[in-house]
Amino acid sequence: MSKKLNSSKEIIVQFCGEYPADFENKDILSDPNFVFENDISYESIKLFDIDGNAVFVNSFLECQHYVKGGWDYIPSQRNESFYYNSLFMFSIVSVVLGFIFIKKYFRWGNLSD
């Protein structure tokens, strides 16, 4: 993706799909006993949080609620970042060990001449 997502609405559209034409936003936080209703016309979506926990959502309202709550993480981004960091550390260790090996080899070579 070349363009950065700026608004909450764009992030919700990326994870949940386009807003339904008949979508009615509800204030879920004011009702502690709110229960999400299953929408049979909405295909279930699996969302992830930063810790790798997963949840399946069954309606656009539920998806929107979870994405606004921080369930907008893509696990492959975490893995890719881990691979880059691992490669970087491996490179640093290889260079340092190579430098030590070469210094030791050339020092021994100079002593025998």
pLDDT tens-digit series, residues 8-57? 888 999 999 999 888 888 888 888 888 999 989 999 999 998 888 999 99
Higher pLDDT: 76 or 40? It is 40
Q: Quote the CA–CA distance of 64 and 12 in Å, as a whole number.
A: 6
* Helical H segments across the chain, by residue range: 8-16, 60-68, 75-112
φ/ψ of 46, rounded to 5, equals: -100, 120
Output the pTM of the full model: 0.62
